[in-house]
Amino acid sequence: MKKLINLFLLCTIPLFLCVGYASATTYEFGDDYIYWPDYPSYSYNDIIDAARNNDDDVGNNPMLDGMKVYVEDGYLTKVEILFNDSSYNNPERITFDSLFINSDWDSALNNWENWDYYVKGDVGSFADYAVNDPYTYLYAIPWNYRQDHPVGFTQDSLLNAAFLSGLAYDTDSNILTYTFAQNALLINSGFAIGYTPYCANDVLLATASVPEPATMLLFGTGLIGLAAIGRKKIRKS
C-alpha cells in the first residue's frame, strides 16, 4: 500500500509543479453584443426604419461569430476573430478594422473601456499602439453604418508600440488572427477585448478574469504540501 502511495506522490507532484509554473487557457466568446454598452444601436437608415435598431449586423457584412482569446503564463498570446461564412461579400473581413485591448479589466469595477492597447488593421498591414489616458474615439459615420459607435482613436490618443508579431486573415477558415510577441502583453486581473470594422456593422466585446501566475503557483505548492502531510500521517500510522 505504501509503495502505491509513494508512486502516486511521485507522479502527481511534478504535475502540480507544472500547473504552478505554466498555464495556458483559451477563452471562447460568442457574438454576444449588438453594440457596445451605452452606445447607439441605430444606423443612418434606422432613423427612417426603426425596426433595424436591434439588428446584430447592419447591412449583413461583416457577420461575426465570436472570438477566441489565448493567455499563457499571464500573457496574451493570440486573439482570433471568427467570421461567419454566410456573408454575401467575399472576403468577409472589412478594413480598416480595430482591436481594442484592456489588460487590467476588473469585474468589480467593470472598467472595460480603460483601453491600454490598440491595433489598426488593413489588408497586408497593421499598426500597433499604446493608448493615452485620456483618449478620444473615432466613430462610425453614415451611410448605412452603425452611426456613432467607436471604431478607433484619434492619432493624438496613440503612442507607437511594438507588441504584435503578426496579423493574418485566412479566407478558407474565415478567421482573423492576431499573434502577440512573447511576453509582450501582461494580463493583470483580467482583460476586456473589443473588435470593430470601420463601419461597426457587427462588433465584438469580451471580458474575463484571469488568475495570476503567482496564484496558480501557490495553488500547486499547496497541493504538494497537502500531499506531504498526508504522507507523514500514513508513516505514523
Asked if the model's pLDDT at residue 7 lies above 50, the reply is no
The pTM for the full model equals: 0.80
Report the C-alpha gap between 98 and 196 in whole angstroms. 5
So what's the pLDDT on residue 211? 86
Give strand pairing partners of 209. Answer: 190
So what's the pLDDT on residue 189? 92
SS3 label, residue 178: strand
- CA angle 27-31-37, nearest 5°? 100
pLDDT (average), residues 124-151 = 89
Asked if the model's pLDDT at residue 159 lies above 50, the reply is yes
| Angle between helix 2-21 and helix 213-236 axes, rounded to 10 deg | 170
Report the C-alpha gap between 132 and 66 in whole angstroms. 28
pLDDT (average), residues 67-85 = 95
H or E element that contains 228: helix 213-236
pLDDT (average), residues 101-111 = 95
162-221 pLDDT per residue, tens: 999 999 999 889 999 999 999 999 999 999 999 999 988 899 999 999 987 644 444 444
Report the C-alpha gap between 64 and 83 in whole angstroms. 4
Asked if the model's pLDDT at residue 88 lies above 60, the reply is no
Confidence of residue 16 (pLDDT cuts 50, 70, 90): very low
